[in-house]
Amino acid sequence: MKRMSFTRGALFSFILFIPGNINTPVEDPVKVYRFSVGDFMPFPEKSPSGNVINDIMLGSMFTLPSLMTTNYVVAYYGHPNSRIMGIVGRHPKNELARLVKKTTAAYASIKGSRGALPAFYLIYGTCQPKGEINLMKRELVESYIRYAFANGILVYLDHQIGRHSVTHAMDQLLPFLKYPNVHLALDPEWRTARPMREIGFIDAVELNEAQRQMRDYMVANGIKGKRHLVIHQFHAKMIRNRGYVRSDLDPVILVHATSGGGPPGR
């Protein structure tokens, strides 16, 4: 069993290059990855870009074996319906995409051999008084996922858990993994029935179970690629017994994000 040694981390960014021809190979550090219909996890329901060939290429790119291990991620955070919860709510999708790609390009230019990926980081489950959770409407979530997919952008769906179990939060998030560009996140700060009055927490056992739950869901549903499960922490109490947190539940990649404000460069 591999245990997690947490270090301070953050989400960074990078520009995705979309090949212009389906026969163009994509260079992978391990092998040359060629696009084929068999490699692509079909995008649900309807074509987000209006072009099935583009969707095959994008879907294959989002599930490249090395995508999440050789790139940083630059994410713009917030809720589409709130200007005060982050930058996401201050711009329409097209402007948000332009801004995050510009920021991603700046990071990519200084990160050396590693690439960078742009992302929308959406607060899907928002903690309310007494720890109730208000979920973003599915149509709104999927409109961002589809737009992001068609524009080479990742989407992170963040759940604040509230008074509920971590398993319950994961159950609400997991169905969105059918989209090749979607990754998941948990925010223990809000895992409480007394939000704004105390900082919440989860235990290593719960975090390990969330990873197993995500891994098992991906295997059972034939979901390709590696996916991030981001865990927020800015206070020691937010992850209890963290020395027992596992980080070997492939294809889940556990990401430790130090969330909160601070001066530039922090």
Residue 152 to residue 117: CA distance in whole angstroms: 9
The pLDDT of residue 2: 55
pLDDT band, residue 19 (cuts 50/70/90): very low
pLDDT band, residue 66 (cuts 50/70/90): confident
Q: Find out whether 86 and 77 touch, Cβ atoms under 8 Å.
A: yes
Mean pLDDT, rounded, for 201-225: 94
Query: According to the per-residue pLDDT averaged within each range, which of 6-10, 36-40, 102-106, 256-260 is highest?
Result: 102-106
Q: Find out whether 76 and 121 touch, Cβ atoms under 8 Å.
A: yes
What's this model's pTM, rounded to 2 decimal places? 0.78
Mean pLDDT, rounded, for 147-160: 93
Q: What Å distances lie between residue 101 and 116, 150, 152, 184, CA to CA?
A: 10, 14, 10, 21
Mean pLDDT, rounded, for 13-23: 27
Would you call 212 exposed, middle or buried from its count of C-beta atoms within 10 A (0-12, 13-18, 19+)?
A: middle
Question: How many other CB atoms are there within 10 angstroms of residue 110's CB atom?
Answer: 7
What is residue 28's three-state secondary structure?
A: coil
The pLDDT of residue 1: 56
Would you call 80 exposed, middle or buried from its count of C-beta atoms within 10 A (0-12, 13-18, 19+)?
A: buried
Mean pLDDT, rounded, for 135-158: 94
If you write DSSP's letter for every residue of 155-219 in order, what string do you get? Answer: EEEEE--TTS-HHHHHHHHGGGGGSTTEEEEE-GGG-SSSTTTS---EEHHHHHHHHHHHHHHHH
Q: Find out whether 234 and 258 touch, Cβ atoms under 8 Å.
A: yes
The pLDDT of residue 101: 92
Residue 254: its H or E element: strand 252-257
The pLDDT of residue 54: 60
pLDDT band, residue 221 (cuts 50/70/90): very high
Res. 214: pLDDT tops 70: yes
pLDDT band, residue 263 (cuts 50/70/90): low
**Length of the chain (residues):** 266
pLDDT digits (tens, 9 = 90+) for 164-190: 999 999 999 999 999 999 999 999 887
The pLDDT of residue 59: 74
Mean pLDDT, rounded, for 97-120: 87
Task: Give the angle subtended at the CA of 223 by the CAs of 219 and 228, to the nearest 5°.
Answer: 95
Choice among 35-39, 67-71, 204-208, 232-236 with the minimum mean pLDDT:
35-39
pLDDT band, residue 143 (cuts 50/70/90): very high
Res. 56: pLDDT tops 90: no
Average pLDDT, the chain: 78
The pLDDT of residue 31: 25
Choice among 11-20, 95-104, 244-253 with the minimum mean pLDDT:
11-20
